[in-house]
Amino acid sequence: MEEKSWKDHHALLNPKEENELEIFGYKTQGCRKAMCIAGYIFSCGALLLLFYWKPAWDVWANCIPCNLQEADVILLRTTDEFQKYTRKKVTWIDLSTLNLSVRDTSDSLFIADKDSVINRAIMKPELKVRSIQVQKIRYIWDLSVKQFQKVGSLDDSNSCYDIHHKFGTGLTREEQNIRRLVCGPNAIEVEIRPIWKLLFKEILNPFYVFQTFTLTLWLSQGYIEYSVAIIILSVISIGLTVYDLRQQSVKLHDLVEEHNKVQVTACTKDEGCKKLESRYLVPGDILVLEGKKHSLPYDAILIDGGCIVDEGMLTGESIPVTKTPLPHTENTKFWKTHSAEDYRRHVLFCGTEVIQTKPTGKGPVRAVVLQTGFNTAKGDLVRSILYPKPMNFKLYRDAFKFIIILTSIGVLGLIYTVCVYVQHKKPVAETVAMALLLFTVSVPPAIPAALTTGIVYAQKRLKNKKIFCISPQRINICGQINLVCFDKTGTLTEDGLDLWGLIPSEGSRFQNVHSFASGTPLPWGLLCGAMASCHSLIVLDEKIQGDPLDRKMFEGTCWEMEDSSTAHNKAGVPDTSVIVKPGPNARNAPVDGIAILHQFPFSSGLQRMSVITQQIGKDQYDLYMKGAPEMVTSFCRPETVPTDFVKELKVYTTQGFRVIALAHRALNMGNDVELDNLEREEVESDLTFLGLLIMENRLKAESKPVLEELSAARIRSVMITGDNLQTAITVAKNSGMISKTSQVILIEASEPEGPTPASITWQLGEDSKQNASGITDTCVNIEERTSPERESNNYHFALNGKSYQVIVKHFKSLLPKILVNGTVFARMSPGQKSSLIEEFQKLNYYVGMCGDGANDCGALKMAHAGISLSEQEASVASPFTSQIPNVECVPELIREGRAALVASFAVFKYLTLYGLTQFIGTALLYWQLQIFGNYQYLMQDVVITLLVCLTMSLTQAYPKLAPYRPPGQLISPPLLLSVILHTGITAIMLLCGFLLVKQQPWYSEMANHRECPPANHSLTIPNRTGTANATAVSSSVLSYEDTTLWPLTTINCIILAFVFSKGKPFRKPVYTNYIFSVLLLIQLGICLFLLFADINAVYKGMLFLCTPTIWRVYILIMLFVTFCVSFFVEDVILQNRHLWLLIKKCFRFRSRSQYRKWQRKLEKDPTWPPLKRKDFAENSKNEIYINPIYEHDEEN
C-alpha cells in the first residue's frame, strides 16, 4: 500500500492517551460476503465461530481496505503488547429529523461555537454525521482533518474568556437538540446483560468448545457416566460464572442508574431556566446549582459562585473540597493551561456530592456542563471497570504455550493410533474415534480452571483478613512483587497530626518556640490570624469538617467557626463567608472575628493555599498563605525571611516533624473589587514571612516491623510522598527503610535558565557526612550484600518532585541509575507518583503501591498491585483495599500471592502429569487394541483428579516471607524438568508393568478369569498360545494389561498430588491442609481396596481380571519405588535452591531483568555514585510526555 493511501486507511484514536487505539478503514464487498456466508453453511458454523474468536479475520475476509472516509467498517487494534482487535460498524446520525432552520450557505454554522468539532462533522446538504462508538465513547468523523474525534465534552481549546462569553448565557434550543443527537444522552448506562447473552458468550469460549467436542466424542463411544459427570460440573461452573457476571452487571447498573435521572435546573437563551432530567443535558449547557445536598450527574466548570464538594466517590477519602469559579480573564490561553495544575479547583466532577453552595452578590451559583455520559470522571471509572486494562503476566501466556505443547503431543498420539489401527485393518469409523479419543486425553479439560483455584481460595483468605480485591487475577502477580512504594502520611505515619510548636519570625530572626504542650493559649497576632483563617474548613451539621491538618491547626488557636448566615449579618461581610472568632479559651484579641472572603485552594502541584480575609467591622483586607516552607518563602520578601531559615528548617525536618510555613500580606483593595476575578498571581507576592508551624507526625507502630520483614525478604521499599524531603528521609531512617549505617545522597536538579543548560547536583546528606571518608570509592557489591533485592545497603538516593521532573526531561539516561538506588522521593505530585511507578516497571520490577487512596489514585492503578488503606469495602481507585488502615496488609498480600502462585503451578503440573500418565497408559493399551473401562476412567477423572484439583490449593500461606520469590514462569528449566522427569519416571513404570505382566506364567491374551478362585484353590494357568480359550470372546477392556496399568496410573496420580503439594517456604506443610491430606488417604485406601479385594462384584463393575496376590504386591512395590524416586527428584533435586544457584554460577547465568543489568554495570563503575559534583545536560530541549491522570488536591 502506498504511503498516502496507507495514511488515509490508518489513523490513531486518542493519540498519547492511556486508551490509544489504531484504526483501519474497510469497505464491505458483496462477493466476499457471499463467499463467507457459503463458508459458514458448508463448515456447519465453524467458520463463523472462528471469526467470532478472531474479529480481524472476519473483517479481512468480508471487506477490502479503503480510506477511513469511505469505510463502513472500522477495525481497531490496541497499541499495547497484546495487539487486541475489535470490529466496529460506522453508523450515520441524521440531523434532518430535527427540522433545523434553513441555512443559506454551506459555510453557515449549526453550532454557535465555531471551533466545535460538530460543525466540522456535518455533511451538507445531507445533514448527516458519520460516527463510531468505542468502549461507550462516541467519535464523529471530522471532515476538515479527516479523522474521528471524540464528542461529549467541550473543546480544551476554549479560553476562560470563551467559556464565560460563549456559554455564559446558555445555548439555544436548536443547538441543544443538535448536540443531544450528536453527543448522545448524558447517562452512564450500564446494561444488565441478559442471561442468554452471558451464557452464549461463556459457552463460545474456546475451552468449552473443545470440551463440547471431547464430550460428544466420549458419548459416542459410550462413556456416558464420565461424560455426564463432566457435563454436570461444566454446567455448575458455567452457571456460577454467569451468575457472578450477572450480579456484577446488576450491581454496576444499580450504582450508576440513580445518577441518570437527577432533576437539574438548566438555562437556555430563548426559554430561560427550567427543571429537566439530567440525561437531556449537553456540553455547554448552563446550570444553576441549588443549596441543598445533591450528587452531580455531569462534569461542569464553575463560572459563578463557590461550592464545597465531597469527592470521596473518586478518591476514597471524604474530605470537603472547595471549588472556586473560573476567572474572567481576557487572555487567549486555553483554560486548563491558564490554571496550570490547579485547573481542577474550578471543575465539579460527576459522582461527587455538593455539600454547600456559596452564591455571590451577582446571583446564584452557575456552572457550564463540561462533559457528559461516559466522558465524565465517574464515566471514566465505570469504563475502567467494564474494560479493565489487561495485565501482562507470563504465567497466563506460558499456560497457553503449554497447552499448545500438550496438543502437539495429542496430535502425535492421534498419528500413532491411526498407524496401529490401520495395521490391524480396523474400520475407519473405529480408527477415527479411537484416534480422537487419545488426542483428547492429552489435554485435561480442567487446565484453565487449575490457574484460578488458588486465586479463589487466596481471595477468600484475604477477605477474612479485611483485604478486598476487585481484580482477582492480580493476586498471582502479587507473588512476584519485589518493590513496594509507600505513601508517608496516613500510610507509614499516623493520619492525625499533633501540634508540637510554633516558631514566630520577627525582624528576620526566629523567636522563641511557642509550645502547644504547655497549654498556654496562642497570643493574638498575625500568626494567630493565619492559623485561624488559612484553611478550607467548613461547618457542616454543627461540626467542623475538613482536612485533618487544617482541623488540628485551627484547634490550636482555641477559636470558633460559624457561617456568616448565622452570624447576625455582620457589617460589610458577604453572606457566603465563613466567620472565625475567638473562643472562650482563646487569649483576649482586639478583634471581634475574621471573615474568610475568598480561598485559593491547596493543590498538590502548587504546594500552597491562600485566603483573603477581612476583620469584622474594619475595612482591612489581609492575605494569608500556608504551605511547604520552600514554596512559601519563594513568595516572601527576602528581607523578611530569617537568614538561618534553611538551618532551622533542617533542625525539625531531620527529627521527622511536619513543618508548615505561614506568611501574610496586607491588601489595599476597595469595596468594589470582585474577589472571584482576582488572579492568584496578582495577590500572592511580596508577602511577609510569619514563621513555622511544627507538627508531629508519629510513625505507626506496625510500620517498622513490616518494613523490616520486607527487607529480610529482600523486597525493596521506596517512599513516595508529598511532604518535605528531609522529613521523608528522617521517617525512612526511623522506619528502617534506610539503615543507620547507610549514606543518603541528595539529588537536586534544576531547569535550564537562559544559556545555562539543565543541571544536576549530587550532595551527601548531613547525617552521612561523618562517614564521608572514602565515599568516592563507594560501589555496590551485588554478590556479597545481605539484601540483594534492596539494591544496596551502602547508599540511597533522595530527591524531590521538581528534581525528578527535570531528570525525566533532561537526564533520561541517568534515570535508571538513580532508580535502582532511589529510596526517598519527596514533594511528588500525583502525576509524578504515577510516572515514577511506570519507570520502575520499565526496569522489570514488579511494583506494589500502598497509599491512602486520596492523591495516590493514579499510582495505585498503575502499580501491579495497588493497595488502598480505606474503610470502604472496595475502592474503585485500586485493585486491593485494606480495611485495616496500616501497612501490615502488604506482607499479607505478598504471602497470599506467593501461595496462590505456587498453588497454581502445583495444580498445573499435576494436571499435566495426570493427562500424560493417562495418555501413556491408554497408548500402551492401544498397542493391543484395548482401552480402560468407563468406571476406570471415572475413578481417575472424578474421584481422584477432580477432588485433588479442588483441595490442593487449600494449603495456607507460610507465615514467614522467604528471602526469594517463587518462579513466575511455567516455561522455566525447573518446571519443564519436573514435567519431563516425572513423565519419564511414569512412562518407565507403566512400560515395566505392561511388559512384565506378559512374562507371568498365568498370563493369557484371551482373558477368561474375571472371578478369583476360593482361598484353597490356586489360579489355573491357561494355555499360553490361547488355543484353550479359542471360543472365548475377546474384550477391548478385559485384559491383564488393563488390570495392571489401572492401579499403576491411578495410584501414581495420588503420588504426584502429594509430591507436588510442596509446603515451605511459600506454603504451610501439606499436613496442615487437613481436607487434602485426609482426601489423599481415603483415595489411596479406595485404590488399595479395589486392588486387593477379592470380591466378584468389584471385578465385574470395574472390569478387572483376577491376578495372583503376589503380582498385586509387585504392583505396590513398583509404586513405592516410583514414589521414592519422584519424591527424591522433586524435593531433593528440582526444589533444591542451592543446587540451582550452583548450576547458574557454573553456567554463568545472569538475570535478564533491566534493574539487575544496571546493578551489574554500576557495580563495575568506580565513578558511581557521583558526589560533590554538578553535571549539565547535553541537550536541554529533550522533553518527555507524562500521561495526565486524575490529580487530587489534598496534602499527602
Cis peptide, bond prior to residue 974, ω within 30 of zero: no
Q: What is the largest CA-CA distance in the chain?
A: 125
Q: What are the residue numbers of the active site? A: 487
* Residues paired with 625 in a beta bridge: 610, 663
Cell of 626: 500556608
Contact (Cβ atoms closer than 8 angstroms) between residue 307 and residue 357: yes
Complete edge-to-edge strand list for the sheet that includes strand 294-295: 294-295, 353-358, 306-310, 320-323
Measured distance CA(930)–CA(1035) in Å, rounded: 8
Contact (Cβ atoms closer than 8 angstroms) between residue 112 and residue 167: no
SS (H, E, C) 280-295: HCCCCCEEEECCCCEE
Strand spans (E) along 535-668: 538-540, 543-545, 559-563, 578-582, 594-603, 608-615, 621-627, 657-667
Measured distance CA(948)–CA(444) in Å, rounded: 14
Measured distance CA(473)–CA(481) in Å, rounded: 14
Pairing mode, strands 795-800 and 822-826: parallel
Contact (Cβ atoms closer than 8 angstroms) between residue 579 and residue 611: no
Measured distance CA(1025)–CA(117) in Å, rounded: 91
Terminal-to-terminal C-alpha distance of the chain: 53
Measured distance CA(964)–CA(712) in Å, rounded: 10
SS (H, E, C) 484-529: EEECCECCCECCCCEEEEEEEEECCEECCCEECCCCCCCCCCHHHH
- What are the DSSP calls for 204-241, one per residue? TSHHHHHHHHHHHHHHHTT-HHHHHHHHHHHHHHHHHH
Contact (Cβ atoms closer than 8 angstroms) between residue 614 and residue 594: yes
Q: Nearest 10 degrees: CA dihedral of 1051, 924, 433, 933? A: -40
Cell of 549: 491538618
Residue 301's nearest CA partner among 349, 250, 249, 234 is 349
Measured distance CA(1063)–CA(230) in Å, rounded: 30
Residue listed under C-alpha cell 522563641: 512
Measured distance CA(150)–CA(482) in Å, rounded: 39
Q: Which amino acid is at 151?
A: V
Measured distance CA(239)–CA(247) in Å, rounded: 12
Q: Nearest 10 degrees: CA dihedral of 876, 881, 883, 886? A: -130
720, containing H or E segment: strand 716-720
Contact (Cβ atoms closer than 8 angstroms) between residue 649 and residue 629: yes
Complete edge-to-edge strand list for the sheet that includes strand 272-277: 272-277, 263-268, 286-289, 365-371, 299-304, 347-348
CB atoms within 10 A of CB 1073: 21
Contact (Cβ atoms closer than 8 angstroms) between residue 564 and residue 578: yes
Q: What Cα–Cα distance (Å) separates residue 734 from each residue in 698, 743, 1165?
A: 10, 14, 31
Identify the three-state secondary structure at position 123: strand
Residue listed under C-alpha cell 480481524: 56
